[in-house]
Structure formats: structure tokens, C-alpha cells
């Protein structure tokens, strides 16, 4: 069974010389004295500067750049309001995300990752946001920057998203990254339309599948569990609550390399390099945000190696949803039903210990036939599709300046 991956990634100065907000604000005031809005917009479009201020008909937008943690509690409140409006569009039935969750997201980051955020502000309101994640230890993918981008519905088609992404591309180039990757989903069609307009390539299409726990075929799950446990002379099942034990971290690093078997489609993404820091700091970030994390792994007893694993997280802000993370089994251990066993043990654990979880969500590439077959048999159905796009930083800047 191939692996399946959940979908989530050089000046670090917050204001490099070409992004000086004081200079830009002065230029803007001077221009506004002599140019109308349309003329000012044309000057902005054809400038090689990435301005932190720009004017649109009936509104003035300021773009603020934050490198690293954002500790301003007023920003936490404003970003939380923006995030919840975006969430309501994508997931109307979800409860509102509390500010404490937003604050944790904006303040925590692993040491091996640079994080930059840009907030498009209309007065004190966040109307758009972009984030750039640069993993300095994934040495096989130092050409990449992973991006989050969102704009409120009322501000779309006005240049806000384009200007945010131009800041991201400029920062990425400063860090010697040449390509950006970001995802959109079918629940917000404007995202894919925006990326196509920039000339981005749809590198990988995934299905977000959802399982209603009430629809679970417990007879099937119990048969899969019995088949797995019946191989106890060959395989040992390991259960982990929260973080991996410290004495296992080195072999867990080796285990995570199974995720390089996950399909990447046409993405310019190389086999990922994993380190102990990736694991321990990621676990610390989840713990800091109050996530419950459940893990099952299987050890091959003759070799002593970890053969595969599956993990699942529960965000305290959405306690009814279990977010299935990675699931993978090394090729040499396939054919023993380990993937079915791992997934079955996980849903049994949810049913017995986490009854508040009423549904489980997971993502699978369309090309990942073996994992899709397991999920379909379990009762997962398609909730939406998501697409991972890639685009060269230079192409972003050319499209915005055109």
C-alpha cells in the first residue's frame, strides 16, 4: 500500500530595502496629491517596488509584513475574524475558531522553518492574508516555498490577492527559492480561477474524503483488526498517545521516509529529507495548540524495523472532526493487510475513546488507488477536491506587473 500524505512549508528581514513602509507611505501621499486613483493604480502596477500601500476605488489597502511570530493581540483578534469568515465560506457547519487557537498558530513555529505573513488591512480589518513557509532542513527542496493565501469575498478581483502573492514571490526570491506551491479547493472556486489566471500549473489533484462514524461497517473493521492481530508472530502493533517516545525518535525518522512513496503528480517536489527536529518540533507545535494526536505503528519482528504507521489529530476547536494525517507502509512489508489493520485500529480507538468525533476527514491523490480502495471500503465518500498548484516566482511577478 503506497503512502498517503495529508495536505499542510535570503533575507529574513521584515522590511528589506524595497519594502520600506515609511518610504512607500511618503511616496503614496505625494502621488495622491497629483494623481487620481486610476493613475495611481497604473503607477503601482508598473513599479518594480512591492509597495505596502495601494489604493483601489473606494478603499485604501495596507499590506503589513511579519517575519516570525506575531505577538500583537490586536492582530490575533483581527486575523481570527478574517479566518472565521473564510472558514464559514468553506465549511458553513463548522463552529467558529477561538482566538486562542489563532494566537497559537501565529506565534508558534519550528526552528528549522522560516515563516513570513502578509496581512492586507482595510483600516483595522484583515481582508486578505498570505503566508510563506521555508523549510531550511529539507535540503532536497530548497527551491520551494509553500504558501497559504486567502482574500475575503468582497475584496476579490480587486488586486488584493495578486499584490499579496507578489510580496510572497519577492521574499521567496530573496531566500533563493524559485517556485511557489499552494492549494485551492473546489468549495471556493475563485481560488482555482485565480491560479489559472496567473498561469500556474495544477500539479496534483486530491480528493478530500469524509467518513461518518455512524456509517462505519463495524463487522468489516473487526475482520481487518482480527486479520492483523492474527499475524502477531510476525508483526507487533504499537500505540502512541501524543508524542513518540524519545528513545524511538531515531527509528521514527527512518519510518517517516515511507511518506516519500506518496504520489506527487507533476509537482516539482523531491523526496523529502526528515530529521529529528522535524518530528519533535512539529509535535511540540501540535501540543501547544492543544491537539490530541493518535498514532498506531507496526513493527516487523524478524527485522526489528518499523514497517508502517498511521496518525490522526483532533483539533480542540473542532472536537467532532478527526483529521487523518499520514498513512504508509514500506513496500517490502506490503501484501499483509497492514494498511487496513492500521486504519481499522484507529477508527476502533476513536469509537471507544473519542466518542465526540463523529466524522473523519482525509486527503488522497486521485492516483493513489490502493489507499482510495481502503477508504472507500471503510465508507469514506468525497467531500471536496483540492488542487496543489505550482508557479515560478518570476512568473508571479510578471503576471502581476502585466
Question: Does residue 9 belong to any structural domain of this protein?
Answer: no
pLDDT at 42: 34
| 331 lies in the same domain as 216 | yes
Instruction: Say if 2 falls within a structural domain.
Output: no
Statement to judge: residues 357 and 394 lie in one domain: no
Residue 151 lies in a domain: yes
Residues 177 and 233 in one domain: no
Q: Is 4 a member of any domain?
A: no
What SS3 state is found at 71?
coil
Is position 129 within any domain? yes
| Residues 154 and 240 reside in one and the same domain | no
Kind of pairing between the strands at 144-151 and 179-185: parallel
Average pLDDT of the residues of the chain: 87
How do strand 321-329 and strand 359-365 relate by DSSP bridges? parallel
- Residues 49 and 24: beta-carbon distance below 8 Å: yes
Residues 124 and 232 in one domain: no
Q: Backbone phi, then psi, for 356, in 5-degree steps? A: -70, -20
Give whole-number Cα distances, 318 to 14, 185, 290, 313, 402, in Å: 33, 20, 11, 11, 42
CA dihedral 218, 219, 221, 227 (to 10 degrees): 160
Tell whether 176 and 73 lie within a shared domain: yes
Q: Bridge-partner residues for 122, per DSSP? A: 125
Do 199 and 241 share a domain, yes or no?
A: no
* C-alpha neighbours within 13 Å on the C-beta side of residue 399: 21
Number of domains making up the chain: 2
Helices (H), 113-217: 160-174, 189-198
Residues 242 and 228 in one domain: yes
* Positive/negative CA dihedral, 330, 333, 335, 337: negative
Give me the domain span that covers residue 350: 208-386
3-state secondary structure of 16: coil
Measured distance CA(210)–CA(382) in Å, rounded: 6
**Which CATH number goes with the domain that contains 97?**
3.40.630.30
The whole-angstrom separation of Cα 72 and Cα 81 is 15
**pLDDT band, very low/low/confident/very high, at 301 (cuts 50, 70, 90):** very high
Strand ranges, E, within 39-136: 53-56, 59-67, 113-122, 125-135
Q: Are 394 and 354 in contact (CB under 8 A)?
A: no
Domain-embedded: residue 375: yes
Q: How far apart are CA 186 and CA 189, in angstroms?
A: 5
Measured CA angle at 173 (ends 168, 175), to 5 deg: 100
Same domain, 156 and 112: yes
Q: How far apart are CA 221 and CA 42, in angstroms?
A: 62
What's the pLDDT at 5?
44
Percentage of the chain beyond pLDDT 90 is 75
Whether residue 361 is contained in a domain is answered as: yes
Q: State the Cα–Cα distance between residues 308 and 327, nearest whole angstrom.
A: 7
- Provide the greatest CA pair distance for the chain: 82
Identify whether residues 252 and 377 lie together within a single domain: yes
Spatial CA neighbour of 200 closest among 41, 69, 402, 387:
387
Backbone phi, psi, residue 256, to 5°: -65, -20
Q: Are 118 and 130 in contact (CB under 8 A)?
A: yes
Model confidence pLDDT, tens digit, residues 255-298? 999 999 999 999 999 999 888 988 898 898 888 888 999 999 99
Q: Mark whether 150 and 23 lie in a shared domain.
A: yes
pLDDT tens for each residue of 318-348 = 999 999 999 999 999 999 999 999 999 999 9
**Helices marked H in 128-275 — which ranges?**
160-174, 189-198, 218-229, 249-256
Cβ atoms < 10 Å from Cβ of 150: 24
Torsion of CA 221, 222, 226, 229, to 10 degrees: 70
pLDDT for 56:
56
State the pTM of this model. Answer: 0.83
What is the CB-side half-sphere exposure of residue 374 using CA atoms within 13 A? Answer: 23
Check whether residue 212 and residue 201 sit in a common domain. no
Q: How many CA atoms lie within 13 A of 205 on its CB side?
A: 9
Per-residue pLDDT tens for 7-60?
433 222 223 333 333 333 333 333 333 334 333 333 333 333 344 665 555 568
Determine the average pLDDT of the residues in 81-92.
94
- Residues 6 or more apart whose Cβ sits within 8 Å of residue 130: 117, 118, 147, 148, 149, 150, 164, 165, 167, 168
- Asked if residue 11 is part of any domain, the answer here is no
Which residues, including other chains, have CB under 8 Å from residue 293's CB and lie 6 or more apart? 241, 242, 243, 283, 286, 287, 311, 312, 313, 314
Question: Residue 93's pLDDT is what?
Answer: 86
Amino acid at each position: 500500500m503506497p503512502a498517503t500524505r495529508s495536505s499542510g512549508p535570503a533575507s529574513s528581514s521584515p522590511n528589506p530595502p524595497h519594502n520600506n513602509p515609511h518610504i512607500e507611505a511618503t511616496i503614496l501621499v505625494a502621488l495622491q496629491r497629483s494623481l487620481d486613483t486610476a493613475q495611481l493604480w497604473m503607477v503601482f502596477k508598473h513599479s518594480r517596488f512591492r509597495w505596502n500601500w495601494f489604493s483601489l476605488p473606494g478603499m485604501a489597502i495596507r499590506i503589513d509584513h511579519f517575519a516570525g511570530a506575531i505577538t500583537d493581540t490586536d492582530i490575533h483578534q483581527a486575523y481570527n475574524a478574517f479566518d472565521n469568515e473564510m472558514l464559514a465560506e468553506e465549511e458553513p457547519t463548522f463552529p467558529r475558531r477561538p482566538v486562542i487557537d489563532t494566537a497559537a498558530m501565529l506565534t508558534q513555529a519550528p526552528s528549522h522553518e522560516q515563516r513570513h505573513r502578509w496581512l492586507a488591512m482595510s483600516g483595522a480589518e484583515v481582508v486578505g492574508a498570505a503566508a510563506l513557509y521555508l523549510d531550511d532542513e529539507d535540503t532536497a527542496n530548497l527551491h520551494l516555498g509553500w504558501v497559504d493565501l486567502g482574500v475575503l469575498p468582497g475584496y476579490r478581483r480587486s488586486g488584493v490577492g495578486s499584490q499579496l502573492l507578489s510580496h510572497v514571490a519577492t521574499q521567496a526570491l530573496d531566500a533563493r527559492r524559485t517556485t511557489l506551491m499552494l492549494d485551492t479547493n473546489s468549495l471556493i472556486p475563485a481560488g482555482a480561477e485565480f491560479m489559472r489566471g496567473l498561469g500556474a500549473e495544477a500539479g496534483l489533484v486530491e480528493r478530500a474524503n469524509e467518513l461518518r462514524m455512524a456509517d462505519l461497517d463495524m463487522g468489516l473493521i473487526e475482520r481487518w483488526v482480527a486479520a492483523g492481530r492474527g499475524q502477531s508472530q510476525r508483526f507487533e502493533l504499537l500505540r502512541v498517545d501524543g508524542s513518540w517516545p524519545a528513545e524511538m525518535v531515531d527509528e521514527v525518522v527512518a519510518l517517516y521516509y515511507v511518506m516519500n512513496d506518496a504520489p506527487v503528480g507533476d509537482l516539482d517536489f523531491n523526496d523529502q529529507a526528515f530529521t529529528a527536529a522535524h518530528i519533535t518540533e512539529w509535535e511540540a507545535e501540535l501540543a501547544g495548540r492543544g491537539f490530541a494526536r493518535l498514532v498506531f505503528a507496526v513493527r516487523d519482528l524478524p527485522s526489528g524495523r518499523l514497517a508502517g504507521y498511521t496518525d490522526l489529530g483532533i483539533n480542540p476547536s473542532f472536537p467532532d472532526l478527526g483529521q487523518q494525517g499520514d498513512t504508509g507502509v514500506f513496500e517490502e512489508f506490503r501484501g499483509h493487510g497492514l494498511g487496513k489493520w492500521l486504519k481499522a485500529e484507529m477508527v476502533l480507538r476513536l469509537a471507544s475513546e473519542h466518542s465526540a468525533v463523529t466524522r473523519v476527514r482525509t486527503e488522497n491523490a486521485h492516483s493513489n488507488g490502493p489507499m482510495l480502495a481502503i477508504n472507500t471500503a471503510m465508507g469514506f465518500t468525497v467531500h471536496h477536491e483540492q488542487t496543489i498548484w505550482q508557479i515560478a516566482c518570476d512568473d508571479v511577478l510578471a503576471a502581476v506587473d502585466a
